[in-house]
Amino acid sequence: MASEKRSRRSGSEDPESGHNYPYKILVVDDEPDLQPLILQRMRRPIRSGKYTFEFAQNGVEALEKLNAQPDIDMVVSDINMPQMDGLTLLDQIPSVNPNIRSVIISAYGDMQNIRTAMNRGAFDFVTKPLDFKDLRHTIARTLRNLVEWREALASRDQLVVLQNELDVASKIQQSILPTEFPQHERYGIHASMEPARNVGGDFYDILMLERDHVGLAIADVSDKGVPASLFMMSSRTLLKGTAIGLPQPGMVLSDVNDLLTEENETAMFVTVFYAVYSPMTGEVTYANGGHNPPLLIHADGSSELVPRVGGIALGILQGAPFAQGTLTLQPGDTLLLYTDGVTEAMNADNEEFGVERLQAIFQEEPPTSAQHTNEAVFRAVHSFAGGTPQSDDITCLTISRIQG
């Protein structure tokens, strides 16, 4: 039994470490001799403040005491008693206090009743005639189990609190992502993120810059959980602050990288694709910090990955260079920025969704708008994954140059 192991390791039989009041034990027996006997044989732990005893003559009286004194920790009960016997009492105890431990006193060898008592939730039993040494051990072991049980309950409650806080953190995180998109006669923008279970991971941003230019950022923080989500929040703030002041995507990533790398003990990093779109010309200037290359989709549904320009994930290497690339969206062209939650989504056969399936979506059905493009991606990924649980955030940020 685990509780015995623990006691041997600590070298102590004292069950009440961390317990700063005496344990209250209710003894239920119809023999009037038992009360003075227990008080006499247990006088040491009583005097030292370890235990206090309460007594009842039968089950009915015991339940009354349990109701009146919710601080009773354990019950030691005889089986055969008038009015209400010990086995019936066992059945009733959980409805009064589900965390009470019970020990049954049975006749020696009465396996039938012992089995019934254990089935009804008794923690242990002692036999008549009472061996007080055994009773002391049994009480100590029972109380140790009770203490562990209470600690487990407390940890569980703390976990629930923690989980609630994580849920709130996740909501805060999602609430910083824009959900309303600029309306413009020349272009359409839409973005969407489906978070996996944990906080952390992906973000995107859409920034209205000078001269009607639009900044588009998509990013994926390494790892999940609270540290990753803090890193994500600071990455996003640095990126936004830097991007508003600088017209060149390469310079933006370079500055953000240096800021993130400065005090990065945790070796977290973030992959970022950042582009500036000029609605007048359809020109897209971009830099890539280790992120999946976006997909450029043409009006006829054909597509290709945006040419690579090098650049490593942000937060790793101080002074890392970020080259820029340029491409032009023709009227009807769509640029799909996404995170690896899309291409690395798994199905039941452990296959990845992959870039080819992504391209196939639009060969079948060319994009009609930024929103439709994203919806088609999410639909295809869901149908591919089937019931396979989502292990990563899935994020799409799409801009389309409107035809005409």
What residues line the site for another protein (CB under 8 A)? Answer: 198, 220-224, 267-269, 271, 289-293, 310-313, 316-317, 320, 340, 344, 352, 391-392
53/187 Cα distance (integer angstroms): 81
Closer Cβ to another protein, 207 or 385, answer by number: 385
**Torsion of Cα atoms, 359 then 334 then 257 then 227, to 10°:** -60
User: Tokens standing for 163?
Assistant: 């989980």
Closer Cβ to another protein, 34 or 313, answer by number: 313
Q: How far is the CB of 393 from another protein (least distance, A)?
A: 11
Query: Could you give the C-alpha distances from 40 to 165, 192, 372, in angstroms and in order?
Result: 52, 74, 83
341/347 Cα distance (integer angstroms): 12
Residue 221 near residue 231, CB atoms below 8 Å:
yes
Closer Cβ to another protein, 219 or 276, answer by number: 219
Q: How far is the CB of 144 from another protein (least distance, A)?
A: 32
Q: How far is the CB of 317 from another protein (least distance, A)?
A: 6
Q: How far is the CB of 186 from another protein (least distance, A)?
A: 31
Closer Cβ to another protein, 221 or 259, answer by number: 221
Q: Which of 224, 205, 225 is nearest to 215 (CA)?
A: 205
Q: How far is the CB of 58 from another protein (least distance, A)?
A: 56
Closer Cβ to another protein, 23 or 273, answer by number: 273
Q: How far is the CB of 175 from another protein (least distance, A)?
A: 23
Residue 108 near residue 127, CB atoms below 8 Å:
yes
Task: For residue 244, count other CB atoms closer than 10 A to its CB.
Answer: 13
Closer Cβ to another protein, 333 or 340, answer by number: 340
Q: How far is the CB of 261 from another protein (least distance, A)?
A: 12
Task: For residue 170, count other CB atoms closer than 10 A to its CB.
Answer: 17
Residue with tokens 């906080």: 199
Closer Cβ to another protein, 105 or 253, answer by number: 253
Closer Cβ to another protein, 16 or 340, answer by number: 340
Strand stretches in 175-268, DSSP E: 187-194, 200-208, 214-224
3-state secondary structure 2-16: HHHHHHHHHCCCCCC
Is residue 402 packed enough to be buried (19+ CB in 10 Å), middle (13-18) or exposed (0-12)?
Answer: middle
The phi-psi region of residue 147 (left if phi > 0; otherwise alpha if psi is between -120 and 50; otherwise beta) is alpha
Q: How far is the CB of 389 from another protein (least distance, A)?
A: 11
Rounded to the nearest angstrom, the gap between the alpha carbon of residue 215 and the centroid of all alpha carbons in its chain is: 33
